[in-house]
Structure 1
């Protein structure tokens, strides 16, 4: 499981940037974070929104919770302050990707 100080995929350092790249590169991790952007979701609602299976979702939620990006509360799973800050940090990348896609002739769907 990705953790700061522990070697991550693609790096033997465990530096925070490499750990976050490892974590976000795992199947469905970004999708789970994205689906939590508007607020808490129950496990079933998150599973349906993220279009993933329960086993994989359990693994991703465990990793995201262990790294302080997601928490579980009364309303279900939600982003922590760190999770919201991560999504905010990714916004410039999303803007760049949108412009890149338009330049490449792709449809300009801001939600993609």
Structure 2
């Protein structure tokens, strides 16, 4: 990417951070991802080649560094937390368009859900949740064992404790704060099958989209 040819600090910042995908990579690192493949799971449409190139650029500008086989933000990188939050808050306040099918991705939604757990709310016993999306059809498995939730795209043969059948659009809108959980259940956009205690507790296991209150 060519320079802007300006002394302005905004232009200089954009020369480092303004390329496509770059701030999303920073977002993933701020949310705790460290490994190449984990960063990519949060940004599923970026190619491996592009991710590698963007990481090298960030490393060259001392925004990130390689550490313990992965990547970590430097002090300069961590200082972008407020920038990312303010950008997200701006979009939540001013981007009025409705979510479109191209904005929806089951994999990235579930990836975000599993990293926003409330450890003390998780069941004490091992619990397996099958999360099924209706259209397009896909299924993911959440292996819940306090204090963590592990995401797996494949069934490893353990008994399913709870099945959550959901419309992708509705669950995404719930996650970002546009819909309430009772509204989803009443409308049939989400259906839960399993013991009553698990059905009632499920939405309390997760803290919600990190920017849902940024507006």
Q: TM range, normalised to the smaller chain? A: 0.7 to 0.9
Which residue pairs with 1:19 in the alignment? 12
Which residue pairs with 1:88 in the alignment? 82
TM-score, normalization by structure 1: 0.73
Match of 2:43 among 26, 43, 50: 50
Which residue pairs with 1:77 in the alignment? 71
Which residue pairs with 2:26 in the alignment? 33
Residue correspondences, number:
103
Which residue pairs with 1:62 in the alignment? 56
Normalized per residue, the structure richer in strand is: 2
Worse overlay, 52-61 or 39-48:
39-48
RMSD after superposition: 2.5
Distance 1:14 1:66 in 2: 20
TM-score, normalization by structure 2: 0.41
Deviation at 1:33, TM superposition (A): 0.6
Whether contact under 8 Å (2:27, 2:84) holds in the other structure is no
Name structure 1 gaps, 5 residues minimum: 2-6
Distance 2:49 2:97 in 1: 37
Q: Secondary structure at the match of 2:30?
A: coil
Distance 1:40 1:91 in 2: 17
Which residue pairs with 1:4 in the alignment? none
Deviation at 1:37, TM superposition (A): 1.0
Whether contact under 8 Å (2:16, 2:61) holds in the other structure is no
Name structure 2 gaps, 5 residues minimum: 100-172, 177-208
- Greater Rg, structure 1 or structure 2? 2
Q: Secondary structure at the match of 2:72?
A: strand
Which residue pairs with 2:203 in the alignment? none
